[in-house]
DNA sequence: ATTCCAACCTGATAGC
DNA sequence: TGCTATCAGGTTGGAA
């Protein structure tokens, strides 16, 4: 689901629900792929703690705790972080959805995919983390502890200019699409926004990075920032699973130019949008507008 | 050093 | 209707 805009919208909307509230209990599912820190250690360490700030780097959320530890959250492909009182059909399996009467959908009931739950001393709404595919990550860092996952990240994609992309692209034979997905070049761009930014920059995703001009790199960097900023403004893209912490959908899916529009007419020129696999990812582009 | 690709999971859907 | 194959917003680690 989530790329930089969805993570940033999640951060902004969950922050007031999290910061300053003392954690009373932590409930988790059993140890699995998503728990880098074992679930029992999370439960033990987080009980009684208060979050002092919630930050973001790329697609990672980082909660600062009052004992100087940090809880790191990555939403993977299908992770959802939301308030207990959020309600959305995106929080339910399709089968569950159909089995419920409409009035029963109002309140979310934790299911087997709800891997992490915080309850607070103030008895207000809890915070839930749900992740069907378990590609998400939960990790508790000791004070000042480094972790390769975070250390590897480049600067946040909202801060990157064409110079950095140009330098990174020299002598790289990979498609420019692959470069944009590299989190060590810049952190936060994923499959949707890579395709959308390349459309705005009018550059074909399959172009070899080494053949980009400096000017094209400037256009790409500007397009990346513009697409990400606009998506944050509209609440992110709710195409499949993404839902904001308050249960609301984003609206950027209505502003897409190419992503998941295969065969549909380009809004600029009317040509059918193409899809092919580039860098092992489904990649969408306009064959006429993008050179 | 760079590039490729399987693996980690589950569910929705397209196709037969 | 039902089964099977394919695909999905991400990242890692190891092979080529």
State which nucleotides on strand C lie below 7 Å from a protein beta carbon.
7-13
Which nucleotide is the nearest neighbour of A241, by CA and C1'? C9
In 3-state terms, what secondary structure has residue A16? helix
**pLDDT tens digit sequence for A125-151:** 999 999 999 999 999 999 999 999 999
Cβ-in-10-Å burial (0-12, 13-18, 19+) of A142 comes to exposed
In 3-state terms, what secondary structure has residue A268? coil
- Give the model's pLDDT for residue A102: 67
Is the CB atom of residue A98 positioned under 7 angstroms from any atom of strand B?
A: no
SS (H, E, C) A256-290: CCCCCCCCCECCCCCCECEEEEECCEEEEECCCCC
**pLDDT tens digit sequence for A44-81:** 999 999 999 999 999 999 999 999 999 999 999 999 99
Which nucleotide is the nearest neighbour of A240, by CA and C1'? C9
Give the residue whose CA sits closest to B3 at C1'. A174
Å between CA of A34 and C1' of B14: 30
Which nucleotide is the nearest neighbour of A132, by CA and C1'? B10
Instruction: Provide the annotated active-site residues of A.
Output: 2-3, 59, 281
Among residues A263, A242, A278, A285, which one has the least CA distance to residue A75? A242
Give the residue whose CA sits closest to C10 at C1'. A76
Å between CA of A194 and C1' of B5: 21
Is the CB atom of residue A280 positioned under 7 angstroms from any atom of strand B?
A: yes
Contact indicator for A60, A150 with CB cutoff of 8 Å: yes
State which nucleotides on strand B lie below 7 Å from a protein beta carbon.
2-6, 8-13
The span from the CA of A264 to the CA of A256, in Å, is 12
**pLDDT tens digit sequence for A233-256:** 999 999 999 999 999 999 999 999
Give the residue whose CA sits closest to C9 at C1'. A1
Confidence of residue A99 (pLDDT cuts 50, 70, 90): confident
Confidence of residue A100 (pLDDT cuts 50, 70, 90): confident
Q: Determine the distance from the C-alpha atom of residue A176 to the mean position of all C-alpha atoms in its chain, rounded to a whole number.
A: 21
The span from the CA of A61 to the CA of A49, in Å, is 17
**pLDDT tens digit sequence for A84-94:** 999 999 999 88
Is the CB atom of residue A100 positioned under 7 angstroms from any atom of strand B?
A: no
Å between CA of A187 and C1' of B1: 22
pTM of the predicted protein model: 0.97
């Amino acid at each position: 689901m989530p790329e930089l805009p969805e993570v940033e919208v999640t951060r902004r909307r969950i922050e007031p629900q999290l910061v300053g509230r003392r954690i009373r209990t932590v409930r988790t599912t059993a140890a699995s792929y998503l728990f880098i820190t074992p679930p029992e250690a999370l439960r033990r360490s987080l009980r009684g703690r208060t979050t002092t700030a919630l930050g973001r780097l790329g697609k990672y959320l980082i909660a600062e705790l009052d004992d100087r530890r940090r809880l790191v959250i990555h939403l993977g492909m299908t992770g959802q972080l939301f308030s207990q009182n959020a309600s959305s059909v995106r929080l339910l399996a399709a089968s569950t959805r159909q089995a419920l009467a409409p009035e029963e959908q109002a309140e979310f009931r934790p299911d087997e995919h709800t891997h992490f739950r915080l309850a607070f001393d103030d008895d207000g709404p809890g915070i839930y983390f749900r992740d069907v595919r378990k590609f998400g990550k939960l990790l508790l860092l000791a004070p000042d502890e480094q972790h390769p996952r975070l250390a590897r990240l480049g600067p946040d994609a909202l801060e990157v200019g064409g110079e950095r992309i140009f330098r990174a692209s020299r002598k790289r034979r990979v498609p420019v699409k692959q470069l944009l997905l590299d989190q060590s070049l810049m952190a936060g761009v994923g499959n949707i926004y890579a395709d959308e930014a390349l459309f705005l920059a009018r550059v074909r995703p399959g172009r070899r990075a080494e053949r980009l001009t400096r000017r094209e790199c400037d256009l790409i960097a500007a397009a990346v920032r513009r697409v990400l900023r606009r998506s944050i403004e509209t609440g992110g893209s709710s195409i499949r699973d993404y839902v904001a912490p308050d249960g609301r959908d984003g609206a950027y899916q209505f502003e897409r130019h190419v992503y998941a529009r295969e065969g549909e007419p380009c809004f600029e020129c009317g040509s059918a949008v193409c899809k092919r696999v580039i860098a092992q990812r489904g990649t969408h582009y306009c064959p006429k507008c993008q050179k």
